[in-house]
Amino acid sequence: MRNIAVLVSGRGTNLQAIIDAVESGYIKANISVVISSRKDALALQRAREHGIEAIYIDPQEFWRDKEHKEEKRVEYDKKIIAELEKRNVDLVILAGYMLMLSPYFVQKYKNRIMNIHPALLPSFPGVNAQKQALEYGVKYTGATVHFVDAEMDHGPIIIQDVVPVYDDDTEETLSERILEKEHKIYVEAVKLFMEGKLRVENRKVKILK
Among all residues, which ones are annotated catalytic?
117
By CB under 6 A, tell whether 11 contacts ligand GRF.
yes
Instruction: Work out which of 5, 10, 132, 205 binds ligand GRF, going by CB under 6 A.
Output: 10
Q: Are 146 and 157 in contact (CB under 8 A)?
A: yes
Could you give the count of Cα atoms lying within 13 Å of 37 in the half-sphere of its Cβ?
Answer: 20
- 12 binds ligand GRF per the rule CB under 6 A: yes
120 near ligand GRF, judged by CB under 6 A: no
CA distance 112 to 194: 11
Our finding on whether 142 is near ligand GRF (CB under 6 A) is no
Return the SS3 of 203.
coil
How far apart are alpha carbons 25 and 33 in whole angstroms? 18
User: In this structure, are residues 133 and 163 in contact, taking their beta carbons and an 8 Å threshold?
Assistant: no
Q: Which stretch binds ligand GRF (CB under 6 A): 11-19, 72-80, 82-90, 191-199?
A: 11-19
What is the rounded distance in angstroms from the CA atom of residue 124 to the CA atom of residue 131?
9
Provide the minimum distance between the beta carbon of 182 and ligand GRF in the complex, in angstroms, as a whole number.
5
Is residue 111 a contact point for ligand GRF (CB under 6 A)?
A: no
Judge contact between 26 and 57, C-beta under 8 A.
no
9-17, 27-35, 78-86, 190-198 -> range binding ligand GRF (CB under 6 A): 9-17
Rule CB under 6 A: say whether 182 interacts with ligand GRF.
yes
Query: Is residue 47 within 8 Å of residue 54, measured between CB atoms?
Result: yes
88/136 with CB nearer ligand GRF: 136
Alpha carbon distance 52, 46 (integer Å): 9
- Segment lying near ligand GRF (by CB under 6 A), choices 5-13, 50-58, 188-196, 198-206: 5-13
> Which parts of 32-91 interact with ligand GRF (CB under 6 A)?
none
Q: Does 119 bind ligand GRF (CB under 6 A)?
A: no
